[in-house]
A = this chain, B = another copy of it.
Amino acid sequence: MPQPVLVRGTGLLGTSIGLGLRAAGAEVLLADPSPSAQAVAEDIGAGRAVDPEDASPAPGLVVVAAPPDVTADVVVDSLRRWPAALVLDIASIKGRILEQVRDAAARGVVSDDDVSRYLPTHPMAGSERSGPVAARGTLFTASPWVLCPSPDTRPEAVAAGEAVARALQATVHRMDVAAHDASVALISHLPQIVASLVAARLQGTPDASLALAGNGLRDTTRIAGSDPQLWVQILAGNAEHIVPALHGLRADVERLIATLEAPTAPGARLDVARLMAEGNAGRARIPGKHGAPPQAFALVTVIVDDTPGQLAALFEEIGRAGVNVEDMRLDHASGYRVGMVDVSVLPGRRDELVSALTDAGWKVV
């Protein structure tokens, strides 16, 4: 990968990229409009802080990790400032930013040749925390990193994007900006919106009602804790693809309201059943772990005391049985100091594991 790498923007993602690239042996420079964010990123070892007015040596690669709203400006500024550098950005919306960069070329701020040095990318990783303090070099490990070259993107820029993604142990995906934006509208932005909308309806709910909440509600609303300021930029920046999805959602909600307001009308029940069945079908299409086709794992549920050491002992036993845990979850519940651990294993290994655990005195339910 061309070096040094200048990371512009030292929030959670930029700082994590700096840490990861340094761990992979790259020379990393850091710049952020906030002197304190830049200093923190340098202090935790993400690279050497520089003034972009005077970055020396000149970067071979610029990674723009600025908020979506200002990403295009920083990309254009980087293309102008370092005429030999390749430039990539990592914002979670792509079409709007590419359009803004091309507009700058149309206005003569940069040349079309300059734009060919720019690669739009999107690493699909994040955290519920933000800022350089939460950064970690392994943030992107095993996550998808989407590269969105257009026909006029230089091959060196694509190669640099691949090199960065691979150095950070991400999985490389390729699609054009429109396909990317349409994809994230459905698999990321719509889920975020409905999680927030469902959670918003809980504001006035009595405590006694919320005390009945189970994992269904917790799972459905988990991402509703996300940063409103960031999401304003993302939703506004991908409105073109989100609005049609929201029209579809509204139509479904309206259909359901009409049906539930006249539940004895002919076909009403069939209509609801069809809606739920469509949900079954869509859910079944989400790929499983490691990008494998969706697979029905077998579930083994074990009751454990909620004390230190219990999970250790359980997983030790599972390890001894030689069975790999494909997924696990600790089941929460109100009012009891016990938990239930749901362990997913390959269906062919289930019975074996149940016997091993039962023989060892575990309560398998």
Q: Are A232 and B276 in contact (CB under 8 A)?
A: yes
Within 8 A of B (CB), among A42-57: none
Shortest distance in angstroms between A99's beta carbon and chain B's nearest beta carbon? 14
Q: Are B291 and A308 in contact (CB under 8 A)?
A: no
Q: A365's contact among B136, B260, B337, by CB below 8 Å, is which?
A: B136
Shortest distance in angstroms between A323's beta carbon and chain B's nearest beta carbon? 6
Q: Which residue of B lies closest to A252 (CB)?
A: B197
Shortest distance in angstroms between A219's beta carbon and chain B's nearest beta carbon? 4
Q: Are A209 and B182 in contact (CB under 8 A)?
A: yes
Q: Are B250 and A254 in contact (CB under 8 A)?
A: yes
Q: Are B324 and A315 in contact (CB under 8 A)?
A: no
Q: Give 1 or 0 for each of A270-294: 1 = CB within 8 Å of chain B CB.
A: 0011111111111111111111000
Within 8 A of B (CB), among A227-242: 227-229, 231-232, 235-236, 239, 242
The interface residues of chain B lying within 8 Å CB-to-CB of A313 are 315-316, 319
Q: Are A199 and B315 in contact (CB under 8 A)?
A: no
The interface residues of chain B lying within 8 Å CB-to-CB of A235 are 256, 260, 272
Q: Which residue of B lies closest to A138 (CB)?
A: B365
Q: A24: CB under 8 A from chain B?
A: no
Q: Are A210 and B315 in contact (CB under 8 A)?
A: no
A260 to B93, CA, bound (A): 15
Q: Are A282 and B336 in contact (CB under 8 A)?
A: no
Q: A144: CB under 8 A from chain B?
A: yes
- Kindly name the residue among A198, A256, A337 whose own CB sees the greatest number of chain B CB atoms within 10 A: A198
Q: Are B243 and A260 in contact (CB under 8 A)?
A: yes
Q: Are B216 and A219 in contact (CB under 8 A)?
A: no
Of A60-68, A82-90, A148-156, A188-196, the one contacting chain B is: A188-196
Q: Are A291 and B211 in contact (CB under 8 A)?
A: yes
Q: Are A286 and B217 in contact (CB under 8 A)?
A: yes
Q: A201: CB under 8 A from chain B?
A: yes
Of A5-13, A109-117, A167-175, the one contacting chain B is: A167-175
Question: Could you pull out 12 A-B pairs where Cβ atoms are within 8 angstroms?
Answer: A141-B365, A183-B206, A191-B216, A196-B275, A196-B276, A200-B278, A200-B279, A203-B281, A225-B283, A235-B260, A236-B263, A239-B260
